[in-house]
Amino acid sequence: METMSQDTNAAKSPPKQSAITSQEVVRKLRFEYTYASKESTDRMLDSLTELLNHFKEPRLKVVALLQDAAKLIHKQLRIKEVSIGVRTPSDGMYRYLVMAGMREFVWSEHKALAYTKEDFGDFTKWGGFTISESTRLFLFEEKPYLDTEKGTFDAQMGMRMKRKTPDAYVEGDYIDVYIHGRNREVVGWIETGGTWDVKLPDAQAIKWMEFIASILAVALMDWEG
């Protein structure tokens, strides 16, 4: 009877779930990006209309536009932390400028960082995976951080979290959507972490962010600061 009980318990034990690989995460997101629904919600369109109203002002307030764009992404796409960086007109360096949803001490770490034009053409420092011409995915497992960036996320939490599904978010994951100006020169970027329900932003969210990036490009191409 004891042997039978042990056999029964063994039969009931769920199979161990294998770890999700980086390639599985990337494959899922690339597939969804290709076949994402083209339908949009009225709520998102209303928010985009409000964003475009900035261009009706006698003088465009670029920082206010960027701030509203970050808030839109945070609220409508339900992304927990959003930041937008730009090329600084005075010295050509790239810096984070606005954010939504980020804790103040984490934001202070972001604001202290600066990047060169060359950094946006050479991803060997960070690695990452290309999702589209404008979007790159960086996963915690691939260690996509420089020593100077380690204060921007909680590495200990990232190590404790396990990726059980391809759409799961792990602390330290991030997505960059590049804002391209003339001749595809990078004039800024949108950076996001995970969603409010601890997922990676889905393909539809990425397409919305790419659309928002194209709006912001118009404002940033000739911005003088």
pLDDT tens column, 50-105? 999 999 999 999 999 999 999 999 999 999 999 999 999 999 999 999 999 999 99
105-130 exposure pattern, b = at least 16 Cβ within 10 A, e = fewer = ebbebbeebebeeeebeeeeebebbe
96 token code pair: 């984070």
> What residue has token string 């960070």?
126
Check residue 125 and give its pLDDT. 84
- The DSSP 8-state label assigned to residue 206 in this structure reads H
The share of the chain scoring above pLDDT 70, in percent, equals: 90
Walk me through the domains of the chain, giving residue ranges and CATH numbers. 21-220 (3.30.450.40)
- Kindly indicate the confidence band of residue 156, based on its pLDDT and cuts at 50, 70 and 90: confident
Maximum separation of any 2 CA atoms in the chain, in Å: 86
In a 3-state reduction of DSSP, which class is residue 90?
coil
- Beta-carbon contacts of 169 under 8 Å, excluding residues fewer than 6 positions away, are 193, 194, 195, 198, 199, 200
Where residue 60 falls (left for φ over 0; alpha for ψ -120 to 50; beta otherwise) is beta
Burial class (CB in 10 A: 0-12, 13-18, 19+), 63: middle
- Beta-carbon contacts of 106 under 8 Å, excluding residues fewer than 6 positions away, are 81, 151, 152, 153
Its pTM surpasses 0.75: yes
Average model confidence (pLDDT) for the chain?
89
Check residue 13 and give its pLDDT. 59
